[in-house]
Amino acid sequence: VGTAVTLQFDTSVITSQFPIRIEGPATSYGIFTEHEPAEFEFDAHYLVLDGDDLEPEAMLIEEDGEHSHGHSEECILPTDRPDCGCTNAGTLECDNTDKVLESYLYLVDNRCNQGCNCYNEGCRDNFFIVDMHHSGCNADQLPKFVEENFHEYEESCQRCYQSPFQNPVLPQCGAIDCKNTAATNGNYSLVASAECQNDFCQSPACQAAWQVVIAAHDECCHDDIPEALADGFHDLEEVCLGGCNVPVPTNYTVDCSAPKNLGLVEDDHDGDDHDEHEGEHAVAWGASFTLTPAQYTWQAQKTGCPLSDQSYAEPTMKFVVLELANTSKAALMAAEETAEELFEGNLETVVPGFGSIDVGTAVTLQFDTSVITSQFPIRIEGPATSYGIFTEHEPAEFEFDAHYLVLDGDDLEPEAMLIEEDGEHSHGHSEECILPTDRPDCGCTNAGTLECDNTDKVLESYLYLVDNRCNQGCNCYNEGCRDNFFIVDMHHSGCNADQLPKFVEENFHEYEESCQRCYQSPFQNPVLPQCGAIDCKNTAATNGNYSLVASAECQNDFCQSPACQAAWQVVIAAHDECCHDDIPEALADGFHDLEEVCLGGCNVPVPTNYTVDCSAPKNLGLVEDDHDGDDHDEHEGEHAVAWGASFTLTPAQYTWQAQKTGCPFDRCRDGSDAPVRHVRDHDQFPIRIEGPATSYGIFTEHEPAEFEFDAHYLVLDGDDLEPEAMLIEEDGEHSHGHSEECILPTDRPDCGCTNAGTLECDNTDKVLESYLYLVDNRCNQGCNCYNEGCRDNFFIVDMHHSGCNADQLPKFVEENFHEYEESCQRCYQSPFQNPVLPQCGAIDCKNTAATNGNYSLVASAECQNDFCQSPACQAAWQVVIAAHDECCHDDIPEALADGFHDLEEVCLGGCNIPEPTNYTVDCSVPKNQGLTSGRDNNPNDNNDDDDDNLSTGAIVGITIAVVGVFLVILFAVLYKCCLKPRAIDEAHTAAMKMPGSVAEEHKSEQANNV
């Protein structure tokens, strides 16, 4: 502390680390840097303690100085990019939607927007194809979901330049002054305001501003585009009509020999990373990496669920690391033959703990079945930097929750990759064909009977899945998750979609991959034909029909043409009747997106001669306990045990973790001071398991979730362990999920007593600027919203969200505001009173059963399908609104708290929350203290105070300042007359007792200190 240094980064490693020693006694510190830390973040935070990220309390950023390197220092214009026509993208074919669709699906399948994946040739070339057609074709010529989701890949992938499509009905964009960012910002703020958003930017002023925004986004250098515009442009595209054509650059010619276009066509990529390899090979996978001298770790894991049944995909795997000329695919292919020859020889078998694997030596990895993760060190000594790793099986087959190659905990991604698609090494799917009728019968499980009119039953089970995170890890193998998923699955298959709540129907598919499905004979819609017979093995025909349905031709008319409808029926039959391995991957991934667009379809026939036999092997062991969504309803009253869970544990040392929770970091969740004994943000307790047993139960006095901030409660070697079954004491004294104190809306600080200023419902710029501050500063992450800037700008948005009509706010602010509610402290503003709505009736907050009943009715298909307009639904909706806005957090049922904002998007009508009787705003009360101190980070609070009369606050402030000056003068006089001479005498006296040179040094030091 107090010593300025120059940090020199180690170019041989990904992450350079520098220890900072804090010894106290101070607790408040400032860190100042020459450059912004964000410039040096890839996948790790800049300041950590024991692995926990630390966020600042307040922050200064030099926005306009020479130190801003957030963007490239060089101006990159669109025409500076490689020309799309000089890459493997080929030629522009706006009518060939199959080409675009296949390339887009390649991006999805290969996760090309993650890490550095888009620098692999396959991702790069397929992105060029999509980018070329996105720029050069009319949006209507592309499949809708490609057009909408393309932008998710722009930040990760290198773009290419294609002269922009010219829409004959739009004017040319005017000339843009890219350096006039103030004007650009002004136009963006207007377009993003409610004034423009609510009429789709059709007024002359809005349309002119929208054309400036388009020109800035498409023609200016990245550094000249305001950050808010760069982040928000694609949201505006979804709202604003009209616009303009970006002009084709004058005198621009395509020259494939120009430097920017070199090195982009070494290999012909059409989405197949290894189609030149035919037949079967000893090498199933190869990848190139840039590796500097260090010790790397290769990891293989057990996979599958439940955890007790996890196993390695194969017991062994041949493995070799070879030097390459470079990291291109061509160099990788050249080395593959050497790897093949090495794999044919007699290889040494190595086990975890073996010294290390050397470059050039092929070995057989033998996985340790007693642990979840087998690790093998690889020693790279140089001087080469380009290496290829070749394996007998695909590494992805051995990934559960950890990456295959790491260095110091950081995942390493390949530069180029070869995959043997059609050989014997593909274990991506089950080797056994699992038909829908091979699943357990829903009626032979705890799902009970099919009750399509009982939407409450389906809704309660779905909410159980949400509350218990049943789609995470192996959670869905717990009985509660399993049985409630069976209930939802049975009704999803056996009932008409209109009989299920909309959000259940839409979101059910998020649980399909994690949970075991059951079989229910499918609903037969009397207005649809039967699906025709499907040849599941003819995947080429299935793929052809899928490509047609996913094309713009079908998407743009909702699959209603005869050809599209016939293809859609084939796709439905393939998806619902074929084995998983016979369903093309693109169809499996994209089917549910098509369901949202395509009308019509067909009924999947009920299997002939199929009978339900609950004694069949597939149906055994699924009704051991009666689960209705309550894992522990047999326990009544209060118990010393609040939580219990079972685990399969093999001999090892496990770690139990408990963390401080809540924000800011120096406070506990309940607002009390953090316990003194906590010197870290989490405590760890080792658990030693020696066997021979493998099944164990852990029981605790409190729920572990109460002690989780950003780490799991039970881990082994850094891997989170999930329970097999779980007991939770729902109603006892141990539930601390919410604050023990009832916090009413009026208990919050008053918005008018904060830096939010005054309520200005017509000043949408003020709200918009504050909302964009929240976005830019990631105020909903960690404890960021306890920084003054985030806090004050959230207060501004919160005040206007509560006190103004929703139509007065920009649409996307109104819709996305709720993402910040959990992270930020709310303030109280008397609610807007809509003159066309009645007052909400009195609410009995303690009658949670009644509240739950009203919520279930509102969330049911009966209310959702008519927008809550029937008298019964409207009355229930008004009760739900009153409960949500007037009751203490602990009195609001969890399902209502989680689902309220989804209901707001569906239900019309409602009621006005009444203003509290006799409530007055008093900025001097404790709840309003400390919210206007410190440097004001509010970008909107720039009003000049022209009032000549001083407020009470100003008078108090001046008085304190005068008294403060007097005390400083008094202390200076006392110091000069008394304290300073005495301190110097003490320093000399102490020095006389020391050896000569030490004494002189000490006297000098003491004098300096004085």
SS3 letters across 856-919: HHHHCHHHHCCCCCCHHHHHHHHHHHHHHHHCCHHHCCHHHHHHHHHHHCCCCCCCECCCCCCC
Residue 341, strand partner residues: none
- Residue 953: CB atoms within 10 Å: 11
- Under 8 Å between Cβ of 160 and 84: yes
Which two structure tokens, joined as six digits, stand for 371? Answer: 């642990």
Which bin fits 601, alpha (ψ -120 to 50), beta or left (φ > 0)? left
State which amino acid sits at residue 354. F
Q: Which pLDDT band, with edges at 50, 70 and 90, does 989 fall under?
A: very low
3-state SS, 337-389, equals HHHHHHHCCCCEEECCCCCCECCCCCEEEECCCCCCEEEEEEEECCCCCEEEE
Cβ contacts of residue 706 below 8 Å, gap of 6+? 661, 669, 736, 737
pLDDT, tens digit (0-9, with 9 covering 90-100), for 847-868: 988 898 899 899 888 888 888 9
Quick one: which of 765, 851, 835, 754 has its CA closest to 799?
754
* Cis geometry, peptide bond prior to residue 664 (ω within 30 degrees of 0): yes
Segment 805-823 mean pLDDT: 79
Q: How far apart are CA 899 and CA 880, in angstroms?
A: 11
In this predicted structure, the answer to whether residue 531 has a pLDDT above a threshold of 80 is yes
Quick one: which H or E segment has residue 398? none
- Angle among Cα 816, 818, 821 to the nearest 5 degrees reads 140
- Asked if the model's pLDDT at residue 669 lies above 60, the reply is no
Coil, helix or strand at residue 672: coil
Place of tokens 């650059």: 249
CA–CA distance, 420 with 586 (Å, rounded to integer): 19
Task: Give dist(CA 514, CA 478) in Å, integer.
Answer: 11
Could you give the dihedral angle defined by the CA atoms of residues 622, 625, 626 and 628, in that order, rounded to the nearest 10 degrees?
Answer: -80
Which residues are 48's β-sheet partners? 53
Contact (CB, 8 A) for 658 and 682: yes
| pLDDT over 70 percentage in the chain | 83
Q: Flag whether pLDDT at 740 surpasses 90.
A: no
**Parallel, antiparallel or unpaired: strands 373-380 and 294-301:** antiparallel
Cα–Cα distance between 169 and 954 in angstroms, integer? 60
Single-letter amino acid, residue 717: D
Measured distance between the N- and C-terminal CA atoms of the chain, rounded to whole angstroms: 19
Q: Tell me the per-residue pLDDT of 588-642, one tens digit each, with 9 for 90 and over.
A: 888 888 888 899 999 998 888 889 999 999 988 888 644 444 444 434 445 688 8
Helix pair 585-595, 539-550: axis angle to 10 deg? 40
Beta bridge mates, 377: 297
pLDDT attached to residue 962: 53
Residue-wise pLDDT tens digits, 345-389: 899 999 987 778 999 999 999 999 888 899 999 999 988 889 999
Which residue's entry shows tokens 């020109």? 215
Record the tokens describing residue 112, joined without a space: 């090309």
CB 511 within 8 A of CB 470: yes
Residue 157 forms beta bridges with which residues? none
pLDDT tens, position by position, 61-98: 775 444 444 334 467 788 889 999 999 998 999 888 77
What pLDDT sits at residue 639? 66
Q: Strands 714-716 and 652-659: what pairing? A: antiparallel
Q: Report the amino acid identity of residue 50.
A: D
- Complete DSSP assignment for 579-602: -GGGS-HHHHHHHHHHHTT-----
* Alpha carbons within 13 A on the beta-carbon side of 964: 6
